[in-house]
Structure 1
Amino acid sequence: MEDDDLLAIAFLLTIKKKKKRRYWVHPLNTRRIYESSFYLKRTKLRAHPDKFFDFYRMSINSFDELHNGIRDKLIKQNTSMRLSLDTEEKLTVTLRFLATGKNFEELHFEYLMGSRTVSAVVKETCTAIWEVFQPLEMKPPSSKERWLEIAENYYRRTNFPNCVGSVDGKHIRLISPLHSGSAFYNYKHFYSVVLLAVVDSDYRFIAVDVGAYGRDSDSNIFNNWNFGKKLIQNRLNMPEAKPLPNTNDTPLPFVFLGDEAFPLNNNFMKPYPRSNLNTQRRIFNYRLSRSRRVVECAFGILSNKWRIFHTSMTIPPEFAVLVTKTACVLHNFVRRRDGYRFEDTLTHYFEDIPYRSPQHRSTNRGRNIRDNFAEYFMTPAGEISYQYNERINNLQE
């Protein structure tokens, strides 16, 4: 038999083995406008605002504002072959993906559209939300007045003066990405990308960085982040140093708060090392830890409202980055309009980034500023009564 004949037979066998597409549109999906969850519930939910909030994780007014903001980016033309998806339907599918953590196959059965269509809808809608609302809801302050407002609110809420934000990082769990090697495999032995966030006193994200490899440390990510670089280079337009409340002492700069993993410098405070703590340093660590709870609280609200973070994401890393950034923008959007429910702050499902000995050095100026804060917290002008609680002090030994 000639080679050409063998090739022809092999080609025919390959064609025969190929699975034929049985339907252009699956019969189940043709019933979408009659039987899908969106069309069955849209009117009924609007008649019950509390149930609407539980379902969409936001009020009716907030949903409508969000929809109106992105509608033009989601509109598609009908064709002779099929009707385009309703823009409100696209937003609903996306919010339910974020709110429940259901995979695309599960949403396919709920909304009667193909799994690939669900994936495309979520990606398209998340992109629209990020492009439209990130500049409105999560733009870092550009004026000194705005930084001062954050600092005043921070002091009122936490009793930590001259503080303009708390910083922390969390792992976003992934199912093992294809062809990623060990890049996304972290020190806690699962795959992840890192969410690094700066949070204000109202539990809103000032800025986020998402997408660093799970094996990277907080400090390395922060130093390579555009926001971190601007802080180090003094390009955030922060207010000039001023004396701490109720004193006429030497002015101290405005600072961000972080844990042991971050650098200590003029505008960034972290705890004293835990070995050989005296009372003054122990109280400083307590006051800093107490003030940093706002960032933990923000992560708690985020993960309990958008339960996609309760499980490992079954999507590629770059898609997970988009989903995470979108959830952070929605967090700010809803927080500003609808507030939050207390139960949303009780727990969160993120993994902390394990502390590893940093490769950077603390500056002498940073050490002096930290000492000045620590001394202030021991004076009548800066102390709070319960900082001397024996239980609090024993916890840090």
Structure 2
Amino acid sequence: MNEKQRVLFSIACVYLRQKHKRRSVWVHKTIQARSRHGEYHRLVQELRLDEVRFQQYFRLDRTQFDELLRRVGPLIAKDDTRIRRAISPGERLAICLGFLATGDSYRTISFSYRVGHSTVAGIVADVAKAIWDSLVEDYMPVPTTEDWRDIASEFYHRWNFPNCLGSIDGKYVVIQAPSNSGSLFYNYKGTFSIVLLAVVDAKYCFRIIDVGSYGKTSDGGTLANSPFGNGLRNGTLCLPEDTLLPGADHLGPQPHVFIADEAFPLRRDLMRTKSDIRRVQRTVRMAEKTIGSVTAVW
């Protein structure tokens, strides 16, 4: 056996030894005590007796929490095994909402709820997807042509802005830079982020959102690369036909438009403005205010 073969043999022996090394502890004793001392089984149950503190903790009241659990429970329930009992849907939802409300690290939550670090990561991803899947059709369905007409009517009657279909804005959501991502997520503010793009109606309700664009992408680029932007270009959003503006019949039928600030491109169906007219500025800021009200809570 030559020197090269001896080195390869030694590496193989080390690999096999590590591969077959048994865990010193199958379940850590702190995790074994979850049902007695975990945050869900102690603090959360106590908070149920105090409506105010419960809402401060979860950003939802007890009725809302229970209704959300009823909807997502079947989607996030896991089966018990012969080795251990599964984490209940209620505890899974509590872990996810706790993360969304506080932004605590997975490790911090794993200690307080007495579950594994990787378990917390999996729970947050699974429950967040279940929340979206179970609620999106009821609370943010894809607008139909009639829906767009209703939105335009609301903008006119509430804000004196005819033919407006929504206010658009973007929000940088700060993240830890993924490995080997370079400057993809680095934005002009000097942080790493993904971008949330939102369309808001006259009642400050989200109608369309897109999440996940690279932080380095401008608002205009985010719009162009989003399904919403593709729909604008391709004419597949079921927007209403052109209509006359109130008191301006001489102008002929005018297009329905979305409104945004100067960071977005100017299009026939997208009004970009720096106008000092109060009604215009107020409408432009609606998406920004709506996003701000959400980020103040979550």
TM-score (norm 1): 0.68
2:257 to 239, 255, 258: 255
Q: Is the 8 A contact 1:198 1:207 kept in 2?
A: yes
The residue that corresponds to 2:52 in the other structure is: 50
Q: Is the 8 A contact 1:198 1:208 kept in 2?
A: yes
Q: How does 1:210-249 map to 2 (within 5 A)?
A: 210-245=211-246, 248-249=249-250
Note the C-alpha offset of 1:103: 0.4
Higher RCO by CA contacts (8 Å cutoff, separation 6 or greater): 1
> Structure 2: how far apart are the matches of 1:91 and 1:172?
22
Would the alpha carbon gap of residues 50 and 9 (structure 1) be closer, same or farther in structure 2, given more than 3 Å must change?
same
The residue that corresponds to 1:297 in the other structure is: 289
Q: Is the 8 A contact 1:212 1:221 kept in 2?
A: yes
Q: How does 1:19-30 map to 2 (within 5 A)?
A: 21-30=23-32
The residue that corresponds to 1:80 in the other structure is: 82
> Structure 2: how far apart are the matches of 1:283 and 1:182?
36
The residue that corresponds to 2:96 in the other structure is: 94
Structure 2 SS opposite 1:292: helix
Note the C-alpha offset of 1:183: 1.7
Q: Is the 8 A contact 1:170 1:196 kept in 2?
A: yes
Structure 2 SS opposite 1:28: helix
Note the C-alpha offset of 1:10: 4.8
Would the alpha carbon gap of residues 172 and 14 (structure 1) be closer, same or farther in structure 2, given more than 3 Å must change?
same
> Structure 2: how far apart are the matches of 1:125 and 1:283?
44
Structure 1 SS opposite 2:296: helix
Note the C-alpha offset of 1:232: 3.0
> Structure 2: how far apart are the matches of 1:98 and 1:47?
22
Larger displacement relative to structure 2 (226-235 or 296-305): 226-235
Q: How does 1:1-397 map to 2 (within 5 A)?
A: 3=3, 7-12=8-13, 21-144=23-146, 146-245=147-246, 248-249=249-250, 250-272=252-274, 282-284=275-277, 286-306=278-298
Would the alpha carbon gap of residues 247 and 48 (structure 1) be closer, same or farther in structure 2, given more than 3 Å must change?
farther
Work out the number of aligned pairs and report it. Answer: 295
Note the C-alpha offset of 1:9: 4.7
Unaligned runs of 5+ residues in structure 2 are none
Note the C-alpha offset of 1:105: 0.7
| RMSD (Å) for aligned C-alpha atoms | 2.4
Would the alpha carbon gap of residues 201 and 30 (structure 1) be closer, same or farther in structure 2, given more than 3 Å must change?
same
> Structure 2: how far apart are the matches of 1:12 and 1:264?
65
Note the C-alpha offset of 1:25: 0.7
Note the C-alpha offset of 1:248: 4.3
Note the C-alpha offset of 1:247: 5.2
Would the alpha carbon gap of residues 241 and 9 (structure 1) be closer, same or farther in structure 2, given more than 3 Å must change?
closer
The residue that corresponds to 1:320 in the other structure is: none
Larger displacement relative to structure 2 (45-54 or 105-114): 45-54
The residue that corresponds to 1:342 in the other structure is: none
Structure 2 SS opposite 1:263: coil
> Structure 1: how far apart are the matches of 2:140 and 2:233?
21
Q: Is the 8 A contact 1:257 1:269 kept in 2?
A: yes
Q: Which amino acid aligns with 1:265?
A: R
Structure 2 SS opposite 1:207: strand
> Structure 2: how far apart are the matches of 1:155 and 1:48?
43
TM-score (norm 2): 0.89
> Structure 2: how far apart are the matches of 1:304 and 1:283?
28
Q: Which amino acid aligns with 2:95?
A: V
Q: Is the 8 A contact 1:76 1:85 kept in 2?
A: yes
Note the C-alpha offset of 1:56: 1.3
Q: Which amino acid aligns with 2:129?
A: T
Q: Which amino acid aligns with 1:25?
A: V
Q: Is the 8 A contact 1:46 1:60 kept in 2?
A: yes
Q: Which amino acid aligns with 1:95?
A: L
The superposition leaves residues 173-215 of structure 1 with CA deviations (integer Å, 9 ceiling, x where unpaired) of 1222101122222233322211111111222221111222111
> Structure 1: how far apart are the matches of 2:184 and 2:283?
33
